[in-house]
Amino acid sequence: MATTCAASLAPLLGPAAANATDYLCNRFADTTSAVDSTYLLFSAYLVFAMQLGFAMLCAGSVRAKNTMNIMLTNLLFGSGIIDFAGSSVVHMVGGIAGLWGALIEGPRIGRFDHAGRSVALRGHSASLVVLGTFLLWFGWFGFNPGSFLTILRSYGPAGSIHGQWSAVGRTAVTTTLAGSTAALTTLFGKRLQTGHWNVLDVCNGLLGGFAAITAGCSVVDPWAAIICGFVSAWVLIGLNALAARLRFDDPLEAAQLHGGCGAWGVIFTGLFARREYVEQIYGAPRRPYGLFMGGGGRLLAANVVMVLVIAAWVSVTMAPLFLALNKMGLLRVSAEDEMAGMDQTRHGGFAYAYHDDEDPSGRPKGVQSSQIANASSGEF
């Protein structure tokens, strides 16, 4: 950069100003490095905020008696192909690992009645779920646009208005559009199915759209991001319906949301990646791009292979681990502990203070435990 800068300034300042030319060019290089470093650090701060979002989302999605347990878990364990920010290597890996864990562990007590019908065991706080979702939305702007790592890089000749900064802005737009479209589609889709407007459906749909667009957020147009979000919503709805039929229980929907929507996002990128954006960001003039954008099927084929390889690799590594833990009795707590709640049996008390004598409803002590017991026997 310094050589190009000096060659441009020398005719303007003249040979007598060689020292000034060197000074200005070096100062400009230092400024570029400083801006890029600041951008990278700011993106890292946003991603760190996602840990708080996951903590709130997970806490609100489980019952009150397990709040301290899941908060502690989030505190201790934070964790030719195009996958720009990790729909496969982040979301699919976590989703498939969660699939095997939940499958081997089995459903929670009371999640299905004796006839195999699904029984809703809702999380205790929709407010925490919404708060966590908004924190994740905020953090995703560090996760997706922040994956560029730098921002002061030009895509054209000196003075061009197009550069990494414009790609960063476009990535933020595609991320927002995909998540918002998925949220609205899930809201109305579930409304048609159940007859209710459910804010939790909006939150899960939004996150499903984010998980899907993460792969191609930098190489697709905004209109394509809307398609990504729309389809991801139906992927999530369909997989949730399938999970209920197969008696698969995951209160956080990790397998359906991160695994299913993440896989769709990788396939979506193979269909809609735009040649111009691919060449700008990856710097390869003959790199394959999206099938629907005139790039043939090379990128799609490569991405499909990646989906299959990641699914196989995570299955081969995680399924034996969960089977071993289950065999040793380390995967699931006892039925007594599960009924009482992990907060009480493992963490010395509940996350919330319960004072029955101050309860205006006049319910007797132990009503929560009796309701859980009825749920496990199918009595309502």
The pLDDT profile of the chain, 380 residues, written as one tens digit per residue, is 434 555 665 565 556 555 665 655 555 555 666 676 666 656 666 766 666 665 666 665 655 555 555 554 546 543 367 777 778 888 899 999 999 999 999 888 888 888 778 887 777 778 888 888 888 898 898 888 888 877 777 776 665 667 788 888 899 999 999 999 999 999 999 999 989 898 889 999 999 999 999 999 999 999 999 999 999 999 999 999 999 899 998 888 889 999 999 999 999 999 999 999 998 888 777 889 999 999 999 999 999 999 999 999 999 999 999 999 999 988 888 888 878 877 777 777 777 765 544 444 444 444 444 444 444 444 43
What string of H, E and C letters represents the secondary structure of the chain?
Answer: CHHHHHHHHHHHHCHHHHHHHHHHHHHHHHHHHHHHHHHHHHHHHHHHHHHHHHHHHHHHHCCHHHHHHHHHHHHHCCCCCCCCCCHHHHHHHHHHHHHHHHHHHCCCCCCECCCCCECCCCCCCHHHHHHHHHHHHHHHHHHCHHHHCCCCCECCCCCCCCEHHHHHHHHHHHHHHHHHHHHHHHHHHHHHHHCCCCHHHHHHHHHHHHHHHCCCCCCCCHHHHHHHHHHHHHHHHHHHHHHHHCCCCCCCCHHHHHHHHHHHHHHHHHHHCCHHHHHHHHCCCCCCCCHHHCCCCHHHHHHHHHHHHHHHHHHHHHHHHHHHHHHCCCCCCCHHHHHHCHHHHHCCCCCCCCCHHHCCCCCCCCHHHHHHHHHHHCCC
**0.75 cut: is pTM over it?**
yes
CATH assignment, 2-79+81-337: 1.10.3430.10
